Amino acid sequence: MSLNHHSPGEAVRPVRQESEEADVLEIYPGASMAPRVKPRPRRHLTGSEAGMATAEYAIATLAAVGFAGLLVFILRSDEVRGFLLNLIRTALALP
């Protein structure tokens, strides 16, 4: 239910508030009367926590690159290549 009483065809006009600060048009009438919300103080990181997320991403990236390199080395070996080709041939030969 709206507190603004107006006809459906009537255009809604912002309420003009008299103020010492500035000439303000309120889009939501009564919004200036609402209590102000105080911002929370920002938490400052200590020296041991500064840049921690960046270091964690760097370690995870290095681990992923190392794992990918190991997989490439293993998959290029003749034994694994022969095993994979034999597996594919056997799968294609099934009726």
Secondary structure of the chain as H, E, C letters: CCCCCCCCCCCCCCEEECCCCCCEEECCCCHHHCCCCCCCCCCCCCCCCCCHHHHHHHHHHHHHHHHHHHHHHHHCCHHHHHHHHHHHHHHHHCC
Q: What is the pLDDT of residues 60-81, one digit of tens each?
A: 999 999 999 999 998 888 998 8
Is pTM, for the whole model, over 0.75?
Answer: no
At 2, is the pLDDT very low, low, confident or very high (cuts 50, 70, 90)? very low
| Angle 69-52-58 from CA coordinates, rounded to 5° | 15
- Average pLDDT, stretch 5-25? 58
